[in-house]
């Protein structure tokens, strides 16, 4: 094949994003039935029957006593910080995360202290707690990147020994576990995201998983402005409720999840087979420590590939593969943090190395069979390797370098 960067027609007619929503026709049909039900009941939001049903389903799937459905993961985290009394001091946060994880700390009046990662999991290296938790540290926030769970037993041990609270960003980790333990089961509250691009979606949405009944109650009060009864407000809450329509989409998706996961796993296996012989492309293993939902597929670009990671991504985009560099360049290198004095000398070598070489590829495809999608993406990656020097030169000429 010829690459689009050399003037060929793009390999894919339609753009293929990493975050293509997963909606089966059966899911859509069930969704419409549940929405009709909600209209007939004339109950559209405010802790309705669909929200409660969804909460029970999510809790039992994660072997957790409580799930509180929220408008999104960002507000779930914000309300968790409020419920736990985390309002000042420092928080050790994984730098390899979506920016909201750090931003919510700032919104809560806390100072994020960025931690390096464990290259096997891309999640917070537990020993960073020893290095970074100073006298003003109050909490630790690991993120389960790509649904690979952080080393929670060690994180809990080190945090407890220092009197630190733990809140976990499990945005990617629906239906994932580590050695059989699901998010919410390690003794710390965790929050999931149900954004449209996630393995499990409610358009926008999220949930807090916890075994603490008091905390679950606090989350339900806080998501509803802090109302404790009809006329009594006891806390500084917010509007973080999820609607019946969102819950309907979640409930409609549940019966499809087993097959969805198998399909995504087949996509993984196909990528593994196609890319196995390509020098310098190393896959990120997602199921080494437990179950994964396989929503993401990621490879590291090592020097033997010939072309640099950014050249590969640039070429993929020209062929309509919207590959992503998750979570490049890391929260610590985003201008909002990087440009402040406190963050100027932050050095996280493992994070910089991983985020400087990773590419996330599409696992679902718009308008084509997934087998053709995987074959096409793999062909592009093989061709970039074969034409690495030309590809690098082409990119330099485009950027005027
Ligand atoms: C790791 C991570 N944390 C937090 C969020 C925020 O989730 P939400 O969009 O539901 O607020 C996301 C993505 O959306 C994410 O990927």
Alpha-carbon distance of 73 to 56, in angstroms, equals: 18
Whether pLDDT at 330 is above 90: yes
Give me ligand 1 centre to Cα 73, in Å: 6
Q: What is the 3-state secondary structure (H, E, C) of 364-387?
A: CCCCCCHHHHHHHHHHHHHHHHHC
Could you give the residue range(s) of every CATH 3.40.640.10 domain in the chain? Answer: 25-255
Give me ligand 1 centre to Cα 197, in Å: 10
Task: Look at domain 4-20+257-398 and name its CATH class.
Answer: alpha beta
Give me ligand 1 centre to Cα 326, in Å: 12
Query: CB count, 10 Å around CB of 179?
Result: 10
Mutate to test the pocket of ligand 1, among 147, 195, 207, 250 (most ligand atoms within 8 A of CB): 195
111-116 average pLDDT score: 98
C-beta separation of 113 from 137 below 8 A:
yes
Whether pLDDT at 303 is above 60: yes
The percent of residues in the chain predicted with pLDDT above 70, rounded, is 100
Amino acid 341: pLDDT: 86
162-200 residue pLDDT tens: 999 999 999 999 999 999 999 999 999 999 999 999 999
Alpha helices in 42-126 (DSSP H): 49-61, 73-83, 99-107
109-130 average pLDDT score: 98
CATH number of 25-255: 3.40.640.10
Q: What are phi and psi of 276, to 5 degrees?
A: -55, -40
Could you give the residue range(s) of every CATH 3.90.1150.10 domain in the chain? Answer: 4-20+257-398
The percent of residues in the chain predicted with pLDDT above 90, rounded, is 98
Whether pLDDT at 222 is above 80: yes
Q: Closest residue (by CA) to atom 7 of ligand 1?
A: 73
Atom of ligand 1 nearest to the CA of 75: 11
Whether pLDDT at 399 is above 80: no
119-138 average pLDDT score: 98
Ligand 1 in contact with 139 (CB < 6 A)?
Answer: no
Give me ligand 1 centre to Cα 314, in Å: 25
Q: Is the pTM of this model over 0.95?
A: yes
The position carrying tokens 């993401």 is 296
Q: Closest residue (by CA) to atom 16 of ligand 1?
A: 98
200-222 average pLDDT score: 98
Could you check whether the bond before residue 399 is cis, i.e. omega within 30 degrees of 0?
Answer: no
Give me ligand 1 centre to Cα 335, in Å: 19
Ligand 1 in contact with 97 (CB < 6 A)?
Answer: yes
Amino acid 27: pLDDT: 97
Amino acid 18: pLDDT: 97
Whether pLDDT at 400 is above 70: no
Give, as one character, the DSSP assignment of residue 119. T
**Helix (H/G/I), strand (E/B), else coil: 111:** strand
Whether pLDDT at 112 is above 70: yes
Ligand 1 in contact with 98 (CB < 6 A)?
Answer: yes
Ligand 1 in contact with 74 (CB < 6 A)?
Answer: yes
379-396 residue pLDDT tens: 999 999 999 999 999 999
Q: What are phi and psi of 119, to 5 degrees?
A: -65, -20
Chain-wide mean pLDDT for the chain? Answer: 97
83-108 residue pLDDT tens: 999 999 999 999 999 999 999 999 99
Whether pLDDT at 401 is above 70: no
30-52 average pLDDT score: 97
The position carrying tokens 């790509």 is 146
Ligand 1 in contact with 195 (CB < 6 A)?
Answer: yes
Give me ligand 1 centre to Cα 217, in Å: 23
């Amino acid at each position: 094949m010829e690459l689009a960067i050399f003037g060929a027609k793009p390999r894919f007619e339609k753009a293929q994003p990493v975050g293509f929503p997963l909606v089966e026709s059966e899911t859509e049909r069930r969704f419409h039935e549940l929405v009709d039900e909600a209209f007939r009941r004339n109950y559209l939001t405010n802790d309705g029957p669909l929200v409660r049903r969804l909460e029970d389903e999510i809790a039992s799937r994660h072997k957790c006593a409580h799930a509180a459905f929220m408008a999104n993961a960002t507000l779930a985290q914000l309300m968790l910080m409020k419920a736990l009394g985390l309002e000042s001091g420092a928080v050790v946060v994984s730098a390899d995360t979506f920016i909201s994880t750090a931003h919510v700390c700032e919104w809560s009046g806390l100072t994020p202290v960025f931690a390096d990662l464990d290259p096997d999991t891309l999640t917070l290296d537990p020993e960073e707690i020893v290095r970074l938790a100073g006298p003003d540290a109050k909490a630790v926030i690991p993120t389960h990147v790509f649904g690979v769970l952080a080393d929670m037993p060690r994180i809990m041990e080190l945090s407890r020994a220092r009197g630190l609270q733990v809140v976990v960003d499990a945005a990617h980790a629906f239906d994932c576990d580590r050695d059989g333990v699901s998010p919410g089961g390690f003794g710390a509250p965790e929050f999931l995201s149900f954004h449209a691009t996630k393995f499990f979606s409610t358009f926008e949405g999220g949930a807090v998983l916890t075994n603490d009944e008091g905390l679950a109650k606090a989350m339900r009060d806080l998501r509803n402005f802090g109302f404790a009864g009809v006329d009594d407000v006891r806390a500084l809450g917010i509007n973080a409720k999820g609607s019946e329509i969102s819950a309907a989409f979640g409930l409609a998706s549940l019966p499809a999840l087993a097959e969805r996961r198998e399909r995504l796993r087949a996509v993984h296996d196909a990528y593994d087979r196609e890319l196995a012989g390509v020098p310098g492309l190393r896959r990120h293993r997602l199921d080494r420590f437990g179950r994964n939902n396989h929503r993401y597929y990621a490879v590291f670009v090592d020097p033997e590939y010939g072309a640099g990671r950014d050249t590969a991504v640039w070429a993929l985009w020209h062929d309509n593969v919207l590959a992503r560099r998750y979570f490049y360049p890391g929260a610590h290198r985003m201008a909002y943090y990087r440009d402040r004095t406190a963050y100027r000398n932050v050095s996280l070598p493992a994070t910089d190395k991983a985020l400087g070489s990773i590419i996330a590829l599409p696992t679902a495809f718009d308008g084509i069979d997934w087998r053709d999608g995987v074959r096409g993406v793999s062909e592009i990656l093989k061709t970039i390797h074969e034409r690495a020097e030309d590809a690098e030169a082409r990119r330099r000429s485009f950027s005027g370098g």
